[in-house]
Amino acid sequence: MPTDRRDEALGGEAARSLFSKFRTLLEANTAALATMAVMERMLGGEYIFDRTFLEKSAREVADFTYQAVYAVNAMTGNRFVTLYDRFMAITAVVEDILTGRQQEADDDQLVRSLSQLRLEDRPQVGPEGAALGELAGQLGLFVPRGFAVTHAAWSNGNLVPEAAAAIAAALGVPPEGPPDAAMTVVVTVSGADVVTAWRKERGVPARGEDLVAALGGLARVALIELGDAAGGGRIAAAVTAEVPAILRGRIWTAWREGAEPAFLRLDVWPEDDPAARETLILDRSHPFAVQRKLPAEPVAAGPSHRGLQLSDAFTLPLAGQALAAERLLGAPLALEFCQDPTGRFVFESVRFLPQLPAAVSISSGPGEVLLSGGEVACLGAASGEVVPVDETTATTAFPFGAVAVARSASPALAPLLRRAGAMVAEVGDAAGHLAAVAREYRVPALFGLPGALTVLTPGLVVTVDAEVGLVTRGAAPSRPAPESGLSPDDPEYQNLRRLLRHIARLTLTDPNAPNFSVEGCRTLHDLLHFAHARAVDVLADLRQVGFSEHLAIPLSLPVPLDLRVLDIGGGLASGAVGLEAVRSRPLAALLAGMLVPGMWDTTPARVGLGEILGAMAKTMPETGGNLAIAARSYCNVSLRLGYHFTVIDAYIGSNPEKNSISFRYVGGLADAAGRAARAAFIRQVLARQDFKVEVTGDLVVARLKLIEPETAEEVLRLLGSLCAFARQRDTGLSNMDDARALQRLFFEIRERSLAQQEKKA
């Protein structure tokens, strides 16, 4: 490509300046991600931290984000100046949290949807709404649709005039319920941490005036009951749609009748016959053995009932879910639930109970030590039967509350953690994705315990105590929150979660989605991600800033991959044109993987007319061809191979906390079943490498972070092989069996080729 005059003028120094700004952005991005990772690890309770740490970390991420925003504007002639406004708005919220003002965007709302709420919203929405939101949002438990009437909606014990309109508006918006539905109202009056009054009314008509009357009435009763103690109490309420039920029940997660230890109590009755109530007293640990049953004989109540005959299939999931809720919320609970006609358990209300006295809750003397050491992914202790798991374990087959034992702490196991009472893995560390998920669900987890699968045999009852790094034989009474861990009640825990919500949450994931915009940036992580994506766009299309593309050097490779490399510093050695020219550590690994013999199939793809027509109906991402932006520790590679568009963005340095690989794969010729099978094939391959994978239609997005540099290279070599392999071979897929067969073929060919390569070497 001939060099134009503009390039000569701009080339050299201007290009170096542009690349330097990009590197600044990159460094800010990776440093911010590393700091976020450290903050996130604090949730696990293993670390002691203080306010100074939170202030320092949050401001550090903000500084790095500012550098990224500045850099992308410097690269684009200030095309994204409004990013500064978003930055200021988000950092103002972060500062408010740090200084204790805690003014967030939603704080002045009088009514908030339950599905949006989390535990850290408790001061604004009360314990009931925050708990229901947390159970649904974090654990995926079913809760009724509804909304919270926030603390801001009350003044001197009464609803403010504007609240009525807000409640009516919330009712009018589907899917909060049809106008003739009945609602349940729970009003709480809380002190700083402790609920002091809880009042509930069922069967309130779903009309604004009825709800306002019920809310006002319940609040008055609660305040009268509290008397002088009500002074300074915060009123809030949860309003939920009543669920059609066949059975109703109540669970106390820590029930004591004078003597220790505490048990789990389960009361159940038919919806149409409350008198036919049955009570089970169960162990507080998996497999939740029944200790007592009341009444001893089934009550023949009503013509259609011959006792409830509660089976394990009914009680065990309920017990497991209740204890998972207790762990997540950090306190003993009284939960009200119902079973709807489809058989689902719906948790309708959550009441926090006083913590167990230490004498009851502290674990008893440990049994025989089976394993010790490992890394603490999440503090806590739990007992249960051992269930070995791997990536093929069906989530629905995993018993609630059991102890999951795995070879590797793969992110593919994340869904199991919603059910597991504790988790042990032979390989893995506290920095990985699965560890983060364990912290999210507050599941006690120890990773890096070699021999776990051998020692912890299926069905053996063990206690995992992450606090002391032991797995012991037998069950031990557990407590809702670790003794020296960070309790969900601690303001520091809630502040950390609030900060992470505005700093580390990533809400922009798809660069092609409509909300991938400046206005769509809601967190510092969003700003970093957006700035990085736009900066990459600039380098991928240098014409935007006045360069021709001749700066990208064609690379000569033994496969027909028309790849140009834009060296932004240390990516290429001068004077060479082949693979030996590549100095970029991640790019070299990726290309080495592509060149593994057998991966690059040159046979034309078998494509049917239907597949071609299917592809024509889709909009393919625009691309300037195959381009690698490369620095010594970084590469961003855009590939159009076959009919697929792939982007790999990778950073490999010496600090694992800064290392990351992201992978996007979209397009291809196939019908809907074929595309689903292709996505499944790629997801299976990536999940084996511990990627966190999300599949949306055609689009596969995968991320891997916090990895040792050698592991990152190995993974990139595999990604290179995958890109080459998937280029032609995924067109014939039509179902999930094909996907599994292709996955086997991929690994067989690759492993055979690597073995041959090794032999030759």
When asked if residue 478 is in the footprint of another protein (CB under 8 A), the reply is: no
When asked if residue 483 is in the footprint of another protein (CB under 8 A), the reply is: yes
CB of 269 vs another protein, minimal distance in Å: 37
Phi, psi (rounded to 5 degrees) for 596: -60, 125
CB of 354 vs another protein, minimal distance in Å: 17
Q: Which is nearer to another protein, 492 or 601 (CB)?
A: 492
Helix, coil or strand: residue 488: coil
CB of 316 vs another protein, minimal distance in Å: 28
CA distance 293 to 391: 38
When asked if residue 429 is in the footprint of another protein (CB under 8 A), the reply is: no
Q: Which is nearer to another protein, 365 or 575 (CB)?
A: 365
CA distance 351 to 331: 10
Q: Which is nearer to another protein, 127 or 374 (CB)?
A: 374
Contact present, 150 and 238 (Cβ < 8 Å)? no
Contact present, 719 and 682 (Cβ < 8 Å)? no
CA distance 427 to 453: 11
When asked if residue 49 is in the footprint of another protein (CB under 8 A), the reply is: yes
Q: Judged by CB under 8 A, which of 14, 47, 273, 618 binds another protein?
A: 47
Q: Which residues ranging from 375 to 394 are in contact with another protein (CB under 8 A)?
A: 376, 379
Contact present, 356 and 477 (Cβ < 8 Å)? no
Q: Judged by CB under 8 A, which of 298, 388, 469, 570 binds another protein?
A: 469
Contact region for another protein (CB under 8 A) — 43-51, 115-123, 194-202, 559-567? 43-51
In 466-587, at which residue ranges do the beta strands (DSSP E only) sit? 470-473, 553-555, 563-569
Contact present, 126 and 88 (Cβ < 8 Å)? no
Q: Could you tell me the CA-to-CA distances from 572 to 55, 474, 568 in Å, in that order?
A: 40, 59, 9
Contact region for another protein (CB under 8 A) — 77-85, 91-99, 477-485, 648-656? 477-485
Buried b (16+ CB within 10 A) or exposed e, 421-454: bbbbbbbbbbbbbbbbbbbbbbbbbbbbbeebbe
When asked if residue 53 is in the footprint of another protein (CB under 8 A), the reply is: yes
When asked if residue 46 is in the footprint of another protein (CB under 8 A), the reply is: yes
Q: Which is nearer to another protein, 216 or 366 (CB)?
A: 366
Q: Is 671 left (phi over 0), alpha (psi -120 to 50) or beta?
A: beta
Q: Which is nearer to another protein, 388 or 469 (CB)?
A: 469
Contact region for another protein (CB under 8 A) — 40-48, 128-136, 162-170, 271-279? 40-48
Contact present, 103 and 541 (Cβ < 8 Å)? no
When asked if residue 259 is in the footprint of another protein (CB under 8 A), the reply is: no
When asked if residue 367 is in the footprint of another protein (CB under 8 A), the reply is: no
CB of 36 vs another protein, minimal distance in Å: 14
Q: Which residues ranging from 492 to 521 are in contact with another protein (CB under 8 A)?
A: 492
Q: Which is nearer to another protein, 491 or 520 (CB)?
A: 491
CB of 470 vs another protein, minimal distance in Å: 11
When asked if residue 490 is in the footprint of another protein (CB under 8 A), the reply is: yes
Contact present, 668 and 698 (Cβ < 8 Å)? yes
Provide the pairing of β-strand 461-465 with 290-294.
unpaired
When asked if residue 142 is in the footprint of another protein (CB under 8 A), the reply is: no
When asked if residue 467 is in the footprint of another protein (CB under 8 A), the reply is: yes
When asked if residue 605 is in the footprint of another protein (CB under 8 A), the reply is: no
Instruction: Using alpha carbons, select from 134, 153, 250 the residue that is nearest to residue 200.
Output: 250
Q: Judged by CB under 8 A, which of 157, 217, 298, 366 binds another protein?
A: 366
Contact present, 472 and 64 (Cβ < 8 Å)? no
Contact present, 704 and 690 (Cβ < 8 Å)? yes
CA distance 588 to 720: 10
Q: In the stretch 267-306, what mask flags binding to another protein with x, by CB under 8 A?
A: ----------------------------------------
Q: Could you tell me the CA-to-CA distances from 80 to 69, 85, 530, 531, 719 in Å, in that order?
A: 8, 10, 10, 9, 33
Contact present, 498 and 512 (Cβ < 8 Å)? no
Q: Which pair of structure tokens corresponds to residue 513?
A: 């989605």
Count of residues interacting with another protein (CB under 8 A):
28
Contact region for another protein (CB under 8 A) — 136-144, 411-419, 478-486, 533-541? 478-486
Residues making contact with another protein (CB under 8 A): 42, 46-53, 56, 359, 362-366, 376, 379, 467-469, 483-486, 490-492
